[in-house]
Structure 1
């Protein structure tokens, strides 16, 4: 009878097996060395974990520091991945227009977070189909049109009533977060909430906690096998974070259930449009896993989180600098007096004649750097960024922070200076091409136009009615906290002092 012992008694067979093993080992080592040599220079760190142990909470600062040593494009090992960092404008400009860098990592950003991927995690044709559909739906329901401007203005009217607190400090971070949630809810669900609605408060708090808990360069993104293990067996205390995901998921599922029950052909929001597309595909027998209720929930959750965090965080930075430099408030209010007055509500078109106001928003984008890094991208094929080779399946990170603080682009970059955007005569605000707070190219943020409307209208409506202050002696810090977005770490409660007629004379 044949046995393992018989197998190893055959010397020619043993030699053949050893030869095959050595061949594959040499081939693997050759491929690995070739791949490493083809990558840009940079630190690789420790076995298995790579450079992860050396990166602190503010990842973008470490990425920027390393660029000073290794150059504007470099590589480092983060967990299981070789990651290419892009840290200057010429190479970033090249990278965002490169179709080979549109893909996303094979592993989900949040292993253990349920089936399916959101639009932001998709690659290839599924991503193209979902992006096209999402933009089509959002435009049809009013994004980029006067309809959404009107709805935002109505929401701001409600929001302003929460700031008037008889001269007592107000938790602006909480108030603005609840209000921005409403604007996103209108697009996703077709309705908004009363600012004291328990559901709105709960989902806003859950989104905020998710955003502050998930550091960009943590285990989740770069050690997917470990994070799947952690999620499955709950080896660390994830109870609260999982609960937050469940709150958002349950809230969106309830909205989807209501939309399915009404069985209407009218498309008034994102859920309507997505369900209509699913129905069309069913009628054509074009059913696939890329269009499902689970993915609808993931998309809605991504829009909800990103659409709220970007605007509310930027508004928090604007408040920091308005209080730190009260003269900026006065200049914006002077433009309000000249262009709008104090009786008429502003329209988005007013921005054209308010260059200093727009310059303040631009500068808040730059110095606040709410998104200091892009969400991870993957090279779908061997490609180049400038003269640097980028092998297939390398991950790529754009360090927007480095560009936003590059002294070659921004003289005195640590200074908050809106005038850097103004023409010599001050009549226009010019946004340079290297200021890209919502990323650029084919994977830029689909909600950019809504965010621009919100930032202008919220800022002008607040300063049209109030002078923003803090209690005397309150420290105004520009320190930041960083989770999925960068925001002020210690924004104090703010006083919104009504402007009297004597102030306007």
Structure 2
């Protein structure tokens, strides 16, 4: 028995020594192959850097590593390795100076399910089809969501939302109310429709959208790197598939309704614009263009605009409202500015924007402190290239740490302080955009809806601030630490009180 125990202990020790030696050899060989690759902590086989992650969010953890490894850090999450860029100089190199080198997106089993094989704009591969759809979508957004058209759509949805908010007499979480306002704006753009707050279709689609985001936040699906599971999918992936198909079915239903009622002499909205683009290609006999404008492509483009128009806008507004409740002195300055600039009881419009610099600066500061897409969508190298002196092989995934840009003490003084003045120039006017403020990214893959999102956010936020004072319930000490992960940051769940300012003497 004693001899067996000694032999057993010796075998365990020998095995451990062998394992450690094997890992050391693996790491040394891997390091020699990639010694010109960006640096990062020691990555273990299979688990990558999981053993080093703390309780902080991944983008914050990686930013901490820049203190040791510099602004460009290589990271392994399980079997996947990527590069994270964390300061404005290298971000400008990746997104602007070498924008074509990093213009591709990742392609995975789950993303192909969502995009019907990459037929959308957000995750589509850089090339002729992507450029065509982006051009069509950009033209439609300029036509239907600028100037008076944008203001009209926002004001209609905002007035309906304000009426609903006024019915709440007790503290409540405003998430669904804000979502309803944003949902009606994007539905007016895409479908020429509006939904009531209690409409079951509105509630269903938002539940689906929220559930999809929750699934994506959990990280990579096992099916993405274990092909066998695609034939025997996990319960998590089965649920994801059902949700995705439900959302795509909603888009197809709306597209089909427009297709059957389409009138070339009366282009009503974004969906009609997409249908018209295909009909023009048919009339001109452009077969190569028609192959890029299939119904699946068009529905995917519609889905891109719909999702992007809802998610980032509603989350940004929720953060801004919580910040106003947290800083009542700043909210009071916003109220004062709106009172002086906007008269007659009308909602703030685009013409008032020049006189509401502090109000918009508050919104920008909220977006700095709480970027709702902290790393944006992944970029992929289209060719072998470099970031600084580091070699980046073709196909390498590169992420931009926008959260790090917005919290860089070399770019922002008093980085954790809510300080709208940092965005103002002389005369309390909104100043030039700071270089390290990039909530919409930059370069070739810059957010398609940036030119719409900025004025839309301004109109909604200014309108809500004109009509309400927002407060936390008495005795509540709020913790505004964001939830979520690299893909999306969510505001915490808090109840607010909306005081109707029109009732004040």
TM-score by length of 1: 0.86
State whether residues 367 and 404 of structure 1, in contact with CA within 8 Å, keep that contact through their aligned partners in structure 2.
yes
- Report the equivalent of 1:100: 101
C-alpha change, 1:119 and 1:34, in structure 2 (3 Å) is farther
- Report the equivalent of 2:274: 274
CA distance in 1, matches of 2:220, 2:441: 24
State whether residues 108 and 121 of structure 1, in contact with CA within 8 Å, keep that contact through their aligned partners in structure 2.
no
Shift of 1:302: 2.6
Describe how 1:194-273 pairs up with structure 2 within 5 A.
Answer: 194-215=196-217, 218-220=219-221, 224-226=224-226, 229-230=228-229, 232-265=231-264, 266-273=266-273
CA distance in 1, matches of 2:178, 2:497: 14
C-alpha change, 1:229 and 1:252, in structure 2 (3 Å) is farther
Moved more, 236-245 or 397-406: 236-245
State whether residues 89 and 403 of structure 1, in contact with CA within 8 Å, keep that contact through their aligned partners in structure 2.
yes
- Report the equivalent of 2:433: 431
State whether residues 374 and 400 of structure 1, in contact with CA within 8 Å, keep that contact through their aligned partners in structure 2.
yes
- Report the equivalent of 1:3: none
5+ residue gaps, structure 2, are 1-26
TM-score by length of 2: 0.86
Describe how 1:41-80 pairs up with structure 2 within 5 A.
Answer: 41-43=39-41, 45-52=43-50, 54-55=52-53, 58-80=57-79
Shift of 1:192: 2.3
The secondary structure found in structure 1 opposite 2:197 is coil
Deviation digits for residues 360-384 of structure 1, max 9, x if unmatched? Answer: 0110110011111021111111222
C-alpha change, 1:447 and 1:428, in structure 2 (3 Å) is closer
C-alpha change, 1:340 and 1:69, in structure 2 (3 Å) is same
- Report the equivalent of 2:347: 345
- Alignment counterpart, residue 443 of structure 1, candidates 438, 442, 445: 445
State whether residues 47 and 78 of structure 2, in contact with CA within 8 Å, keep that contact through their aligned partners in structure 1.
yes
Deviation digits for residues 44-83 of structure 1, max 9, x if unmatched? Answer: 5222443356556822112212222211012223444441
State whether residues 79 and 223 of structure 1, in contact with CA within 8 Å, keep that contact through their aligned partners in structure 2.
no
- Report the equivalent of 2:127: 124
- Alignment counterpart, residue 288 of structure 2, candidates 286, 289, 292: 286
- Report the equivalent of 1:20: none
5+ residue gaps, structure 1, are 1-28
- Report the equivalent of 2:484: 482
- Report the equivalent of 1:300: 302
- Alignment counterpart, residue 382 of structure 2, candidates 380, 395, 403: 380
CA RMSD of aligned residues (A): 2.6
C-alpha change, 1:232 and 1:259, in structure 2 (3 Å) is farther
Deviation digits for residues 89-134 of structure 1, max 9, x if unmatched? Answer: 1111111111211111243552544633221111222221211121
Shift of 1:292: 2.1
The secondary structure found in structure 2 opposite 1:389 is strand
CA distance in 2, matches of 1:112, 1:121: 12
Shift of 1:330: 0.8
